[in-house]
Structure 1
Amino acid sequence: MERRQIVRLWRRGGASVLVTLVRAEGSSYRRPGARLLLGADGAYAGTISGGCLEAEVIRKAGWIVREGAVVERYSTMFDDTAEVPFGLGCGGVVDLLLEPADTPECRALMNATEEALAGRDSVVVTYLPGDGKGLRRVVLRDGVVVFASEGLGEKKLACAAGLRAGEKYEGRFVEEMRGPQRLFVLGAGDDAKPVVSMAALLGWDVTVADGRGHLARVERFPDADRVVALGDSGVSELGIRGADAVVVMTHSYEQDRAMLAALLPVGPRYLGVLGARHRSALLVSEAAAMIGRTIEECCERIYAPVGLDLGGDGPEAIALAMMAEAQAVCMGKLGASRRLTAEDVARQVSEGGVARYLQTQCAL
C-alpha cells in the first residue's frame, strides 16, 4: 500500500525530496528501505519511523538538500547526548538519505519502484554521499545494468553486480526492489471481502477467483487487483507460483477439492483451506488420491484449519486470523500453527464420508 501511495504521488509531479532509511541501530519502527516522498505542495507519502521523525524531516528536508543529497543521522534515544540532530525517546539511531527528487538517480529509483509493483524485480545499489562525493546509483535487472550514474566505470559496475541486497557495505546501500506478495483468494463469498481488504492494506497484490460468475464481480471487491470468473480450466489459468499465498474458501466441496488437487503439486508458499477439521481432512484425503501423493506430503503443504488461533467470531475475526498466519508464513516468522497431520486425517475420515458437504440436487 505504501509503495503504491509513493508512486501515485510521484506520478502527480512536483515531488521535491525523497527520504530513505538506509541504516538502523537499536530499536527502530521501520527497517532499512522505508521511504518518505515529499511533494512540492506539502503532501507526502510513506513513513520512515513510527511518526516521531516525520514532522522534523518534512520541515527541514528542502533546506537540507539545497546543495545535493546528504545522509543525516537521527537519534531516538532517551536522554541522548550524542552529536545527532534529533532525540525523541524511541530507542534507536537511524541514518536517513535525503535526495532531491529532480535528479536522474531519483528518477531511476522511482522507475525501479514502479516496475517492481508490476512484478519486474531489480537490485538497486546506492553509493551514499560523503567524503566529497555525491550520490551515485546503479540499477540492475537480471544482472544487467539498466541505469548507472555518470562517472561510474566498468570496474565499479562489475562490483555493483556482485553485491547482495540486505548485506551491510561501507558507504553503499543495496536493496532488492521486489514485487508485492501475491495472494489468491479462491472464493468470492461475502467472507472473502475482509480478507481482500486486509491484504490490500498490507500492500499485497490480490486476485479473487471463483467459478461462480455471479459472485466473481469487480464491484464486490474494489480493493482487489484482479477479479476472475474461472472457466473450465479452473485455477490453472491464474498462473499461481511457488512464491504465492493462496486461500481456498469457496464453500463448495467440489470446487475446493478440484482446486486443492491442482494446487498441491504447485506448492504455494502458503496454502490455507477454510473449513472444519473434518471437512478439510476429507478434502486432503481425496485430493491426495487424485494426484497420487501421500497424505503426509499433502498435510505438509497446507494450513488447515486455516488461520492462527486468535479467538473471536465472524468474517472479520476469521480474516484477521487467516492473514496473520499468511503474513507470518510469507515473512518466515510463523511459530505454532494448527495443522492437520496424517493421523488427524485418518481419524476424521473414519467418522464419516463427504455426503454432508456435497450439494444436494433434486432428482426431478
Structure 2
Amino acid sequence: MLNIADTLHDWCRAARPFALATVVQVSGSAPLPVGTALAVDGDGNVVGSVSGGCVEAAVYELCQEVLKGDAPPTRARFGYSDDDAFAVGLTCGGELDVLVQRIDPADQPHLTAALGEVTSGRPVAVAQIVDGPEGLLGRTLSVSGDGSTEAGAGGGEEWEAVAAAQAGALLRAGRTGRVEVGGDAATCPERLSVLVHTHASRPRMLIFGAVDFAGALSEIGRFLGYRVTVCDARPVFATAARFPHADEVVADWPHRYLAATEVDARTAVCVLTHDAKFDVPLLRLALGLPVGYVGAMGSRRTHTQRLELLRTAAVPEEHLARLHSPIGLDLGAHTPEETALSIAAEITAHTHGGSGAPLSWSTGPIHRRQSAAR
C-alpha cells in the first residue's frame, strides 16, 4: 500500500473511507510484487495498480462491492485464462492473490500517521494480516523507525507483539515480505500470515573516486533510489559542482570516511580510483563490513595486482571472494554512461539474485519471488 501513500494519506486526513486491494501473494510471472496496492474511494476515484492493467477492472468492481456496506475483507485469485487470454486473467502467465478490504480512517488513526511518515520520508512499517481467522483478516498495526508500535481500534491483542517484532526486523533490513506468526499458546494461538509493508531510508551508494565515471554512476544511482555519496581525497576534484546528482560530496581519504560513516546490508560500495594507495586500505576495510556489494574498477591486470596487495595486507580469502572486480557486467561499455549502466546492472543483479544473462537464454518465471523474512 505504500506505493500509493501520498493519495491514501490525503484520503485519511479527509476522513474518506476507501477500499484497499493489496497484492498478498504472487507466483509465476505476475507483473507487480507483493505489497503493491490499488485503492478506490466512495466517489469511484482509483489510484495505484495490482497487475499493470490485466485485472484492474475486476479488482475495481470488488472494491466497489466492499465499499457499499460492511462486507468483511475478501481474497480473490487471478490467473492466466487458457480459453481466452484477453478475459479477466494474467496474460503473462502468472497468478496473484489480492486482499480487498474497507478502510475507515476513523477506526485506524495509526494508519494515517504511518502514511504521513512515508510522505515525510521517515522509516515506518505497516503489518497487515492477510491470512487467518475472518475476524482478524485485514487488521493492521504500524511500527515507526524508533520502534514504537500503534494498532487499530481494540488494540492489545496477542498477535500484535509478535507481528510488531517481525515488522521491526524487516524495517531494519529495508524489506517488504510475508511472515508467519502465532500458532502457539506462548505467543498467539491463531496462526496468521502477516504482510509487512516497509518504507525504509534510502539505501546508500558510496562512490570512491571523483572521476567522470563517478559522475555518471551518481546519476544512475540516484535514479535507482540510492542516497549517493562521492568521496575523494583530493578537494579540487571532490566538489558539489562536479557531481550535481550526488546527495553528498566528501573530500577525505576514502578508508577514513568509510570507517566513520554508517553502512548496512543494502549499501553498495563502488571503488573507481584504481590507485593502490587508495584502493588497498579502502577495500581491506570494505570487504570486512556487512555491506551488500563491493566493486572495484580496473583492468584484469590491475585486479590481479590488487588481489596480491590485499593478500599481503592479510585480507582473508573469504573476504576477497566478495569483491566484484573488474566492476560491472559485460555490456561492451566504453563511455562513462555505459560503464555506469554496467555497474548499476551488476549491483541490481547481485541484490536480487539475478544471473545477468539475457532473459531469452533462460526459461521459467521472469520475476523472481522476493525472499521472506529470515
TM-score higher than 0.5 here? yes
SS in 2 for 1:97: strand
Q: How does 1:294-313 map to 2 (within 5 A)?
A: 294=316, 296-313=317-334
In the other structure, the counterpart of 1:282 is 305
In the other structure, the counterpart of 1:184 is 206
Residue type of the alignment partner of 2:305: L
Q: How does 1:155-234 map to 2 (within 5 A)?
A: 155-161=158-164, 165-167=177-179, 172-175=193-196, 177=198, 179=200, 180-218=202-240, 220-224=242-246, 226-231=247-252, 233-234=256-257
Q: What is the CA distance between 1:60 and its match in structure 2?
A: 7.6
CA distance in 2: counterparts of 1:327 and 1:335, whole angstroms: 9
Change (3 A) 1:28 1:146: same
In the other structure, the counterpart of 2:89 is 87
* Bigger mean CA offset, 154-163 vs 266-275: 154-163
CA distance in 1: counterparts of 2:338 and 2:267, whole angstroms: 23
Identity, % of aligned positions:
26
Q: What is the CA distance between 1:36 and its match in structure 2?
A: 4.3
Higher relative contact order structure (alpha carbons within 8 Å, sequence separation ≥ 6): 2
SS in 1 for 2:212: coil
Tell me if the contact between 1:105 and 1:136 (Cα under 8 Å) persists in the aligned partners.
no
* Bigger mean CA offset, 57-66 vs 204-213: 57-66
Q: What is the CA distance between 1:50 and its match in structure 2?
A: 3.1
Q: What is the CA distance between 1:318 and its match in structure 2?
A: 1.9
In the other structure, the counterpart of 1:360 is none
When normalised by structure 1's length, the TM-score is 0.69
Change (3 A) 1:324 1:267: same
Deviations 1:77-134 (A, max 9, x none): 22469xxx9335232243143554744253254256468x54x464624367984767
CA distance in 1: counterparts of 2:319 and 2:130, whole angstroms: 47
In the other structure, the counterpart of 2:24 is 22
Residue type of the alignment partner of 1:237: A
Q: Report the RMSD for the aligned CA atoms in angstroms.
A: 4.2
* Bigger mean CA offset, 147-156 vs 205-214: 205-214
In the other structure, the counterpart of 1:236 is 259
* Bigger mean CA offset, 270-279 vs 17-26: 17-26
Change (3 A) 1:26 1:130: farther
Where do 5+ consecutive residues of structure 1 fail to align? 337-364
In the other structure, the counterpart of 2:338 is 317
CA distance in 1: counterparts of 2:55 and 2:9, whole angstroms: 25
Q: What is the CA distance between 1:303 and its match in structure 2?
A: 0.7
Tell me if the contact between 1:74 and 1:86 (Cα under 8 Å) persists in the aligned partners.
no
CA distance in 1: counterparts of 2:124 and 2:310, whole angstroms: 34
In the other structure, the counterpart of 1:351 is none
Change (3 A) 1:133 1:304: closer
CA distance in 2: counterparts of 1:70 and 1:95, whole angstroms: 10
CA distance in 1: counterparts of 2:57 and 2:231, whole angstroms: 42
CA distance in 1: counterparts of 2:91 and 2:239, whole angstroms: 48
Q: How does 1:342-357 map to 2 (within 5 A)?
A: none
* Bigger mean CA offset, 10-19 vs 204-213: 10-19
Change (3 A) 1:76 1:134: closer
Q: What is the CA distance between 1:147 and its match in structure 2?
A: 0.8
Q: What is the CA distance between 1:268 and its match in structure 2?
A: 2.6
Change (3 A) 1:87 1:293: closer
Q: What is the CA distance between 1:272 and its match in structure 2?
A: 0.2
Tell me if the contact between 1:271 and 1:303 (Cα under 8 Å) persists in the aligned partners.
yes
CA distance in 2: counterparts of 1:133 and 1:125, whole angstroms: 10
